Chain A
Amino acid sequence: MSRRPPRGEYIETDTGNKVARKATLVGTQNIMLGGKTVIQQEVMIRGDLARSVQSSSSGGTPASNTAVAIGRYCFLSRGCCLRPPGRLYKGSFTYMPLRINDHVFVGPGSVIQAASIGSHVHIGAKVVIGEFAIIKDYVRILDGSVVPANMVIPSFSIVAGQPARVIGEVPEGGHETFELRDLYKTVGNNLPPAPS
């Protein structure tokens, strides 16, 4: 007999993010979630690897230290790992921010070290995205791909292989499958009963 209501699997924030209690978020002050993002169990996000060298062009504006920025309706499946990429910049090592736009699906067990990921990107299971890869909008990355470091993937590509190559294009009208709003509704604590 518990006096308190049972604690759900997810923590739901005001902006609609659903973060699993068993997710490991390191350096949460440097992680930005856009809202309505799902973070499943055993996901690891390395927010502590923030930028240590500021670019000189930013001038007098206060330095934003965001290490990982995630847009709306993203879905991070179980066991994936997001970490900002790092490299030598002007003679000293620095991490650079990892930016993910809206409606990005990351499959289970994937490791993401990209510089930027566009909107409506589908990343399969056990994918490795190398450091400073740039992925544009509407890209589908198939399971087990290894995207090499610094690769730029154009919009509407289908990518697979080890190392990954563009193997096709998203067919016309196929971009509707990238919508993640319905998937967002399937996880959480107080789910409506499944329609029978």
Chain B
Amino acid sequence: MSSSSKRHSILPPVSAGPRPPVQFSSPLTIAESAVLTGSHTISISSESVIHPRARLDSLGGRITIGRRCIVHERSTVGAIGTEGPAKGADKAEGVTLGDYVTVEVAAAIEAGGTLIGEGTTVGVSVKVGAGAVVGRYCTLTPHTVVVAGEVIPDFTVIYSNGMRRTDRRGVTELRNKGQTRQIEVLRRMIPTNPAKFQT
């Protein structure tokens, strides 16, 4: 061990997997401690924010993240599920997030043709199974489990261990506006380093 005064981290090296090809559009905020791994392309559209320690894993297929998305810390996008990809799903497509999607802390979205529609909030510790199709402007409250291959219509709220109702408030415009404001603030707070992931 070197006796230099520099303090070495005992954390395991972050680059645990292969470096995936990436497609970034600027402006983009991606924290240096985010983890991008896998073999398929990860493309992130402009003005999206990836928090520190978020994990994007493209081993199970391509990951596409739309405009103005927020992926919070400790969430996993493109996890390889236990059941494998859903039948009939396009295997090359891992996870697609529409525009204005929020993926909260510790949520896991499995790969295998999974689609999250525009403006949907994936809550804290939610599990979205492989091949599930979540509609636009849905709200998945914390600890919700969406099983593999499930199709959830637009404006659905899933709460309280699987109860469902339809969101009729019509606040999509306001929601998008709030998300835009939040991204403006986050962009100033999170030091971004997209060059680290681009080879």
Contacts and interface: CB of A to CB of B under 8 A. Distances in A.
Contacts of B178: 88, 93
A162 B141 CA distance: 9
B181 A92 contact: yes
Contacts of B10: 7, 21-22
A162 B143 contact: yes
A117 interface: no
Contact of B189 (A48, A109, A163): A48
A26 B52 contact: yes
Contacts of A48: 189-190
Interface residues of A, number: 30
A81 B160 contact: no
B161 interface: yes
A162 B189 contact: no
B125 interface: yes
Interface in A1-45: 2, 4, 7, 21-22, 24, 26, 44
Interface of A: 2, 4, 7, 21-22, 24, 26, 44, 46, 48-50, 52, 81, 83, 86, 88, 92-95, 109, 111, 126, 128, 130, 144, 146, 162-163
Interface of B: 1, 10-11, 52-53, 73-74, 105-106, 123-125, 141-143, 159-161, 178, 181-182, 184-185, 188-190
Contacts of A2: 1
B185 A93 contact: yes
Contact of B73 (A22, A46, A130): A46
Given A83-B105, A88-B181, A52 B53 contact: no
Contacts of A111: 105-106, 124-125, 142
A146 B141 contact: yes
